[in-house]
Amino acid sequence: MRGDLTVRKTKTASGATAVQVVRNVGKRREIVRHIGSAHDEHSLALLLSEAEHYAENHRTQPNLFAQTGALPPIVNLDETTLVAVTHHFARDALLACARLCRLGWLPDLYLDLALMRIIEPVSKIHTLKLLEEHFDVRYAPRTMRRRLKELLDHQQAIELAAIQTVREDFKELFSLVLYDVTTLYFESFKEYDFQSTGFSKDNKPQQPQIVIGLITTRSGFPVMHEVFEGKTFEGHTMLKILERFQQRVGSDCKPVIVADAAMLSMENIHSLQEQGYRFIVGARLANHSKAFIDQIDTNMPRIDDATARFQHTMKKDKITVNVNVVCHFSTARYKKDRRELDKQLNRALHLLDRNESGRRARFIKKADGQEFQLNVELKAKAEKLLGIKGYVTNLPEEELSNQEVVAYYHDLWHVEQAFRMSKSDLQARPIYHRNEVTIKSHVLICFMALMMGKYLEIKTGMSLKRIRNALWHVHEVHLRDERTGKVHIKRMKANNFQTEAIIEALKLEFPH
């Protein structure tokens, strides 16, 4: 007759205490498993606990007095080896964020490429190595290259996911959207089919680039982007992306478009009005006529935060548009403008005293005799506009006050901050691609990362850099028990308010 498992201790020839799991078979005792030998009380206690754990899991008749539930594994730290440190929590958290941004339906490869822009933005091949090192996630380079080209097929669905996230999670109705443009240069001086030289916002005029237009909400959450050839004039980008945006949100939604002065062209303003859009665009007051500048100078109060509205007709070729120009005076802006004006005047006067060429000086012009002289008219125009910023809009004052026009325009810092995030935190450049499809796919991955990053920033109130550091602080250690060969994994506790804020925002389950 075979008895059930029991644990026994026995002395060995060396004086140690052996711990075994045994079973009585008839009149003899059968050793089922030799757990080990101990030379001290601490080691003996560990071995006895391990033996009892093994016996309880293999008994045919459970012990009525045994503890309920699985017994915790007993590990002697002196007999363990640290074999790995991983960061699965960071990946789990960012994948949860992707799901909250309605991106969970995408293949894991695309999500992993996007979340790595937040964790450690590097080349795609290096990204694959880091995914394996940090998360034990493996993708073949050939598979990655092939699938990368297919990502553009999902761009419409990704942008619709962004719009749905804004509507359902942030409760924004797209009554106002922000639009801006940036450039990304390539670490090369050779042009290809899509990247080409053009006006560079990064002060890299000799290097090929691409132009990116981005639409965000007032809170800075990205909802749509478009990639243009590097030589594209930024003023020609807005109407194309607005047309796509209108298709996504529906024709019944006509938001107020806020853009900077680079978008201010007669063609753009005329087209926006023709299509029923309302807009607020930065004005270049110095480019207007002397008569209009004199009107502003006469009627603009020089009191801090004062505003004034002027009716203005803009004409070019056969196009005529009637707009409102809202002007805002700031004491701080006046002091800054005054310092800059004095600096430029001093430079001009210094060049004239030395009879040097003034082609790099603002207030120098050539006289009839081809001699350089001070441009008194330009100086007078600049002095009349000191401290004044202008905004062009087709919104009547009854619908939007002057102060609201100024405040809405100042929201543009959100889209500028999104570009700074993409260039710094997400490191959208350098770009290691040459053809149009893979370049656009790279930018789309950065767009997804921007969605995830802004979602976390808005929900937690922390910067993306602080969020990334908090996620990376929680890691797992992998300890291998040299006696059993089993690897035990232990995760750090989330013991700071940043990590707890992220866990709460993402609705994660985290054991304490």
Q: Which residues contact 377 (CB under 8 A, 6 or more apart)?
A: 290
Strand order in the sheet with 278-283: 222-229, 209-216, 176-185, 256-259, 278-283, 388-393, 319-329, 307-316
466-483 pLDDT, tens digit per residue, is 999 988 888 888 888 877
The answer to whether 372 and 366 have CB atoms below 8 angstroms apart is: yes
The answer to whether 23 and 4 have CB atoms below 8 angstroms apart is: yes
* pTM for the full predicted model: 0.77
Lowest mean pLDDT among 263-277, 352-366, 400-414: 352-366
168-203 pLDDT, tens digit per residue, is 999 888 888 888 888 776 665 555 666 566 565 556
**E strand or H helix that includes residue 9:** strand 2-11
Instruction: Name the most confidently modeled range: 100-109, 267-276, 345-354.
Output: 100-109
Checking if the pLDDT of 309 tops 90, the result is: yes
Question: Which of 256, 257, 254, 248 is closest to 159 using CA atoms?
Answer: 248
81-90 pLDDT, tens digit per residue, is 887 888 888 9
Span 21-43, mean pLDDT? 80
Q: What is the pLDDT of residue 112?
A: 96
Place of tokens 């109130």: 461
Checking if the pLDDT of 424 tops 70, the result is: no
Q: What is the pLDDT of residue 91?
A: 93
Going by DSSP bridges, is the β-strand pair 256-259/388-393 parallel, antiparallel, or unpaired? unpaired
Lowest mean pLDDT among 155-164, 275-284, 286-295, 365-374: 365-374
pLDDT band at 165 (very low <50, low <70, confident <90, very high): very high
318-334 pLDDT, tens digit per residue, is 788 888 999 999 999 99
pLDDT band at 366 (very low <50, low <70, confident <90, very high): confident
Q: What is the pLDDT of residue 512?
A: 44
Span 80-109, mean pLDDT? 90
- Residue, of 40 and 259, whose pLDDT is higher: 259
Checking if the pLDDT of 302 tops 70, the result is: yes
